């Protein structure tokens, strides 16, 4: 077949079939790649499932053994647990220990000098107006309603 020769109907059909076949083979290759990827993914998730299942069984056994040791064969036993016992059990199963919250009252004492004022009350007022603070951390701080600023022992220099 040359560039200026017409092709027959049969040759055109054969050419179209060949081109469609090549396109179809390309699509089949894509599908096979996708199927193989899905099989690998399934196997990966299956492995993860069985590992997690085994870990759950291991954790159940640790908890059961802990209480078995506490009861020590006495079917009428009462198990009392303090925080250390609970945290020990949580550690056995790989869980975070219980945490508690604490609060503190903080007192900061410092001396300010060189405040120019008309009177002790004026000096006290200027000092109170100048005091500010910031809690720089992830600690919670209640509103300043609970904060108490006092200025004591104001004396002339």
Mean pLDDT calculated for residue range 57-85: 87
For 115, residues 6+ apart whose C-beta sits below 8 A from its C-beta are 123, 126, 127
CA angle 88, 138, 84 (to 5 degrees): 10
Claim to verify: residue 68 and residue 107 sit in the same structural domain: no
CA dihedral 111, 114, 116, 117 (to 10 degrees): 30
Q: Indicate if the pLDDT at residue 63 is higher than 70.
A: yes
Examine the domain organization and report whether 13 and 66 are in the same domain.
Answer: yes
Please write the tens of the pLDDT for every residue from 101-134: 887 777 777 888 899 999 989 998 998 888 877 7
Q: What is the model's pLDDT at position 84?
A: 92
Q: Check whether 2 has a pLDDT greater than 60.
A: no
Quote the pTM value. 0.41
Q: Where are the alpha helices (DSSP H) in the chain?
A: 9-71, 83-92, 120-130
Same domain for 113 and 70? no
**What integer pLDDT is reported at residue 1 of this predicted model?**
46
**Position 144 confidence tier, pLDDT thresholds 50, 70, 90:** low
Does residue 68 sit in the same domain as residue 109?
no
Q: Are residues 56 and 114 in the same domain?
A: no
Same structural domain, 61 and 110: no
pLDDT in tens, 12-32: 777 777 777 777 777 777 878
Task: Determine contact, residues 19/11, Cβ cutoff 8 Å.
Answer: no
- Residue range 33-53, pLDDT digits in tens: 888 888 899 999 999 999 999
Q: Residue 25 falls within a domain, yes or no?
A: yes
Same domain, 18 and 55: yes
Number of domains in the chain: 2
Instruction: Report pLDDT for 16.
Output: 76
Same domain, 70 and 111: no
What is the Cα–Cα distance from 96 to 112, expressed in whole angstroms?
Answer: 47
CB 68 within 8 A of CB 103: no
pLDDT at position 146, please?
Answer: 58
Question: Does 90 reside within a domain?
Answer: no
Within-domain flag for 98 = no
Answer yes or no: is 83 within a domain.
no
Q: Within a domain: residue 52? A: yes
pLDDT at position 148 is 66
Is a pLDDT exceeding 80 seen at residue 98?
A: yes
Go through the chain and tell me how many residues it has.
157
Q: Are residues 13 and 69 in the same domain?
A: yes
- Report d(CA 100, CA 41) in Å as an integer: 42
Q: Please check whether residue 97 lies inside any domain of the structure.
A: no
For residue 20, the enclosing domain spans: 8-75
The answer to whether residue 86 is domain-embedded is: no
Is 110 contained in some domain? yes
């Amino acid at each position: 077949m040359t560039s200026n020769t017409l092709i027959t109907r049969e040759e055109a059909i054969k050419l179209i079939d060949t081109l469609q076949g090549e396109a179809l083979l390309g699509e089949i290759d894509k599908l096979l790649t996708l199927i193989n990827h899905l099989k690998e993914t399934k196997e990966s998730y299956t492995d993860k499932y069985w590992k997690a299942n085994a870990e759950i069984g291991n954790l159940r056994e640790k908890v059961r053994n802990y209480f078995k040791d506490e009861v020590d064969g006495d079917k009428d036993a009462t198990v009392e647990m303090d925080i250390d016992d609970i945290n020990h059990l949580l550690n056995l199963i790989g869980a975070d220990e219980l945490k508690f919250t604490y609060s503190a009252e903080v007192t900061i004492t410092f001396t300010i000098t060189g405040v120019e004022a008309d009177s002790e009350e004026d000096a006290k007022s200027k000092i109170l107006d100048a005091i500010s603070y910031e809690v720089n951390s992830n600690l919670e701080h209640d509103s300043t309603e609970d904060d108490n600023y006092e200025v004591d022992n104001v004396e002339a220099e």
